[in-house]
Amino acid sequence: MQSEILLRWIVLVPLLGAALNGLLNRRLSKQISGLLACGAVGVSFVMSVLVFLRLTGMEPESRLVQDTLGTWMHLGAFRVDLTFAMDQLGAVMALVVTGVGFLIHIYSLGYMAHDDGFQRYFAYLNLFIFAMMTLVLGGNLIMLFVGWEGVGLCSYLLIGFWFNEDANASAGKKAFIVNRIGDFGFLIGMFLMGTTLLPHLGAGEGVFNFQVLHAHAGVLAPVATAVCLLLFVGATGKSAQIPLYIWLPDAMAGPTPVSALIHAATMVTAGVYMIARLNFLFVLSPTALAVVAAVGAVTAIFAATIALAQNDIKKVLAYSTVSQLGYMMLACGVGAFSVGIFHVMTHAFFKALLFLGSGSVIHAMSNEQDMRVMGGLRTRLPITYATFMAATLAIAGVFPFAGFFSKDEILWKAWSGGNTLLWAIGFLAAGLTAFYMMRLVVLTFFGENRASSEVRKHIHESPATMTVPLIVLAVLSLVGGWIGWPHFMGGGSWFEQWLEPVFASGAQIGAHGAHTGVATVDVLVQNAQMNHAAAEALHETGVEWTLAVVSVLWAVLGLVLGWFVYYKRATIADGFKKAGGGFVYRLLLNKYYVDEAYDAAFIRPGYRLSRSVLWKGVDAGLIDGVLVNGSALAVYLFGSVLRLFQNGMIRFYAWTFTIGVAVFVLYLSFSS
């Protein structure tokens, strides 16, 4: 079969699954429903692999498979095609999304087995895969945006999945609204891009097509900073960066596999993907890249500190996700897009594993999420413990786990780009990551079990449908990073090489811009060169070795400290709480009071405005008073006049009829 045609089915098969599950719902038995959903994603995964294999057989420069279903919109010069395209970047994302998605579907079979909304859950989950695949395989920015909104919708639906609890519904709404703020920026950025580009297009060129955007990147150079910053606003919403990260921790109200799939592994990386996809645009604006890098770095350290003090196991992981997303943004911001995507991939493995592991724990603990009443689960949940440990080592960045390769690479790019400050922040956050992850592990798996005896009786290892995905992901967390084994360690940086054609041209545009006087990023030019000769030169200096060793040691130090503080000398942990009069601890526990600050700054004034002006003034006064009651009054008055004519007297009707005829005749005779 032609592999072009496979592309549409990669996207549409999950939609089919969603439609079947969503429409037939309870009429399907749980077995069939689960089979359908997992099968749809599995088929999608297999097809992704097939297309990927076809890509590997192509010349590195021309690796692109396109599938056009037709024209979606065509208005004058504005044209949008229904195109799916898979290049190296799309292939990586597609494999990660469908692969991890498939594992999480399998896991969900076990996790959601006793839930009433089983079919609805899988309908949403399949719909999510559909939207996410539209996002990563869309051949133009509009398709990407459709997927972007689609995953937002699924996220909302799944956060509020157990909607009969108020808090869950509120969390869903919060996620949706905060994302809308980001999307607002995204849309404005797209409009700006479109209006700038439209006059320069040739015939038949779809304005938002990525290739067209790429070819005309020079035209966009004057507005690149504005466009990129606006798009980045969208990315901060979707990828939970400062200042719009606040929805992600609350999003943990959804089922845990959802947290793993949507709010850790795939959807939240959409912002990173979007920036990587539009790398040729971002390299035109050093300002925008600097902002991306700075926001990423600050988010990384900021969220990591909050994670230190959280007691909810999923909240810790949520802030950890925010922090790791900061890393990805940092990588993109210093121009190392391929490394950012690399971290997206490895993070998808180990963070999905962490969430699924926590799901397994929560499952065993009868839906208890507070780590303070856990502990000692190591012996009771051996598989969960072992896999969780693997993920912890991976996220901490211990060699040779996956996280080491990507995180070390990010820090190295920051360092080699001359951004010592960014490197320092990232480095510090890495240590914190190791520390709070160890805290989590210790509180959950070590020590005495602090649960009530009732709960303790029910602690059991999860069924095979849940442990098998855990094991697969654990293996991936270990070996998944090896495809990016760096040059200096004798590897080939294969991952980077694979993505190079996607980003090299972006770097060229940047370099070209430098020559033609367009402001550009020196770092980028450096990076572009570094990929080849410079990398060898730096390799000899041993700096890279040194940094790698230091960061591994730093991670191990963080782990050991975490172990020591929370296991060996628990008094020290109590001491932390009291340090600085307990102020620091309370600050962290309450997440720097950011939610409260937003509440005071935006939400309460919004309420007040709504209450006084919009409700009392506009709604009650204008709409109810003038429009609704006013129109009713007008109709009443008119009717009370008309009612005089409706008296049932045929002769009266005839009389009015003759009057009408008389008037008509008189008018005709006098008007001529």
Partner 1 sequence: MEGLLFWFCGGFLLLGGLMMVLQRSAVVSAVWLVFAFICAAGIFAVLGGVFLAVMQVLVYAGAIMVLFLFVIMMLQGPVLEGERKLMPVGMWPLIAVPPVAVLLLITGYLRSDATVAFAAAPPAGFGTVEAVAGLLLGRYLLAFELISIVLLVALVGALALGRGERNQPWK
Partner 2 sequence: MEITLTHYLVLAGLVFITGMVGFVVRRNALVMMMCIELMLCAVNIVFAAFARLHGDGGGHVFVLMNFAVAASEAAIGLAILVEIYRRRRTVNVDDLKTLME
What residue ranges bind partner 2 (CB under 8 A)?
Answer: 646-651, 653-655, 658, 661
For tokens 């607002």, what's the residue? 184
Closer to partner 2 by Cβ: residue 113 or 659 = 659
The helix/strand/coil state of 283 is coil
What, of partner 1, partner 2, none, does residue 649 touch, CB below 5 to 8 Å by kind? Answer: partner 2
- Judged by CB under 8 A, the stretch of 14-22, 169-177, 380-388, 656-664 that binds partner 1 is 656-664
Q: Which two tokens stand for residue 646?
A: 């409706």
> Which CB, 609 or 654, lies closer to partner 2?
654
Q: Which is nearer to partner 1, 177 or 666 (CB)?
A: 666
Q: What are phi and psi of 377, to 5 degrees?
A: -80, -5
Binding segment toward partner 1, per CB under 8 A, in 78-86, 297-305, 544-552, 652-660:
652-660
- In the bound state with partner 1, the residue whose beta carbon lies nearer, of 613 and 659, is 659
Sign of CA dihedral 174, 178, 181, 182: negative
Half-sphere exposure of 352 (CA within 13 A, CB side): 39
Binding flags for partner 1, 555-584, as an x/- string (CB under 8 A): ------------------------------
Going by C-alpha positions, the residue among 46, 65, 262, 5 that lies closest to residue 150 is 262
655 near partner 1 (CB under 8 A): yes
Joined tokens for residue 337:
């897009």
Q: Cα separation of 298 and 113, whole Å?
A: 40
- Between residues 452 and 658, which has the closer beta carbon with respect to partner 2? 658
Interior angle at CA 319, CA 318 and CA 321, nearest 5:
65
Residue 647 has a CB neighbour count (10 Å cut-off) of 9
Q: How many CB atoms lie within 10 A of CB 599?
A: 14
73 binds, among partner 1, partner 2, none (CB under 5 to 8 A by kind): none
Q: How far is the CB of 670 from partner 1 (least distance, A)?
A: 9
Which of partner 1, partner 2, none has residue 659 at its interface (CB below 5 to 8 Å by kind)?
Answer: partner 1
* C-alpha count within 13 angstroms, C-beta hemisphere, residue 580: 7
Nearer to partner 1, 613 or 663 (CB): 663
For residues 504 and 531, the answer to whether their CB atoms sit within 8 Å is: yes
Q: How far is the CB of 639 from partner 1 (least distance, A)?
A: 23
- In the complex with partner 1, the residue whose CB is nearer, 571 or 669, is 669
User: Residue 53 or 659: which CB sits closer to partner 1?
Assistant: 659
Shortest gap between Cβ of 667 and partner 2 (angstroms)?
Answer: 17
- Of the candidates 286, 254, 538, 302, which has an alpha carbon nearest to the alpha carbon of residue 429? 302
Our CB check for partner 1 shows the closer of 177 and 663 to be: 663
Residue (627 or 665) nearer to partner 1, CB:
665
In the complex, the smallest distance separating the C-beta of residue 669 from partner 1, rounded to whole angstroms, is 5
648 binds, among partner 1, partner 2, none (CB under 5 to 8 A by kind): partner 2
Residue 665 binds to partner 1 (criterion: CB under 8 A): yes
23 in contact with partner 1 (CB under 8 A): no
- 649 near partner 1 (CB under 8 A): no
669 binds, among partner 2, partner 1, none (CB under 5 to 8 A by kind): partner 1
Subset of residues 178 to 197 that bind partner 1, contact rule: CB under 8 A: none
661 belongs to the binding site for partner 1 (CB under 8 A): yes
State how far the Cα of 475 lies from the Cα of 390, in Å rounded to an integer.
8
DSSP helix/strand/coil, 414: helix
Dump the DSSP string for 532-594: IIIHHHHHHHTHHHHHHHHHHHHHHHHHHHHHIIIII-HHHHHHHHHGGGGHHHHHHHTGGGH
Residue 633 binding partner 1, by CB under 8 A: no
CA angle, 28 then 33 then 35, to 5° = 140
Segment interacting with partner 1 (CB under 8 A) among 1-9, 60-68, 551-559, 659-667: 659-667
> Taking the complex as a whole, how short is the minimal distance between the CB of residue 649 and partner 2, in angstroms?
7
How many C-beta atoms lie closer than 10 Å to residue 581's C-beta? 8
Query: With binding defined as CB under 8 A, does residue 669 bind partner 1?
Result: yes
| Binds 615: which of partner 2, partner 1, none (CB < 5-8 Å by kind) | none
Tell me which stretch binds partner 1 (CB under 8 A): 165-173, 377-385, 415-423, 654-662. 654-662
DSSP state of 68: E
Place of tokens 């209006």: 195
Give me the DSSP letters along 210-279: HHHHHHTHHHHGGGHHHHHHHHHHHHHHHTT-TTSTTHHHHGGGS-HHHHHIIIIISGGGHHHHHHHHTH
DSSP structure string for 596-645: HHHIIIIIHHHHHHIIIIIIIIIIIIIIIIIIIIHHHHHHHHHHHHHTTT
The smaller minimum CB distance to partner 1, of residues 618 and 661, is found at 661
Partner whose footprint covers residue 654, from partner 2, partner 1, none (CB < 5 to 8 Å by kind): partner 2
Residue 666 interacting entry, from partner 1, partner 2, none, C-beta within 5 to 8 Å by type:
partner 1
Cβ closer to partner 2: 609 or 649? 649
Give whole-number Cα distances, 284 to 326, 500, 509, in Å: 22, 18, 8
List 264, 468, 662, 671, residue binding partner 1 (CB under 8 A): 662
Residues near partner 1 (CB under 8 A) = 655, 658-659, 661-663, 665-666, 669
